[in-house]
Amino acid sequence: MSEQNVFDQIYAMVKCIPKGHICTYGQIAAMVRPGMPARVVGYALNCLKENSGVPWHRIVNKAGAISYAASRNEHDSLQHILLEKEGIEFSINRKINLEKYLWRIIPE
């Protein structure tokens, strides 16, 4: 277990996100490894399979909006639906209240 691939670490982090909460790319990237750009997280999720058991839909950008994945072929609405099923509400502009749903891994 020592040095798993960064991808595996990211997947583990996403799996740790409790239901009803969300996380941002930069947040996870910083937790997996400081200094790591959020792009790596997005790239990891891009290679992720929907049956991998990773709640990728709980990952949103820092703006609190859903990243539009051209590779996913307009499946952006899918993430929106999944998040709503989790109990997360969207603003009128399709944005989420990060302060309300953003999952903080570091408890105070």
Partner DNA sequence: GTCGTGACTCGAT
Partner DNA sequence: AATCGAGCCACGA
Binding site for DNA (CB under 7 A): 5-7, 24-26, 33, 35-43, 45-48, 56-57, 59, 61-63, 67-72, 79
In the complex with DNA, which residue's Cβ is closer, 68 or 89? 68
Structure tokens at 10: 């990211």
* Cα separation, 102 vs 7, whole angstroms: 21
Which C-beta is closer to DNA: that of 50 or that of 89?
50
Query: CB of 83: closest distance to DNA in angstroms?
Result: 11
Q: How far is the CB of 89 from DNA (least distance, A)?
A: 19
Closest distance to DNA from the beta carbon of 69 (Å) = 3
CB-wise, 37 or 87, nearer to DNA?
37
3-state SS of 25-71 is HHHHHHHHCCCCCHHHHHHHHHHCCHHHCCCHHHEECCCCECCCCHH
Question: Where do we find the tokens 């499946």?
Answer: 75
Provide the minimum distance between the beta carbon of 107 and DNA in the complex, in angstroms, as a whole number. Answer: 22
Q: Measure the CA–CA gap between 53 and 8, rounded to whole angstroms.
A: 12
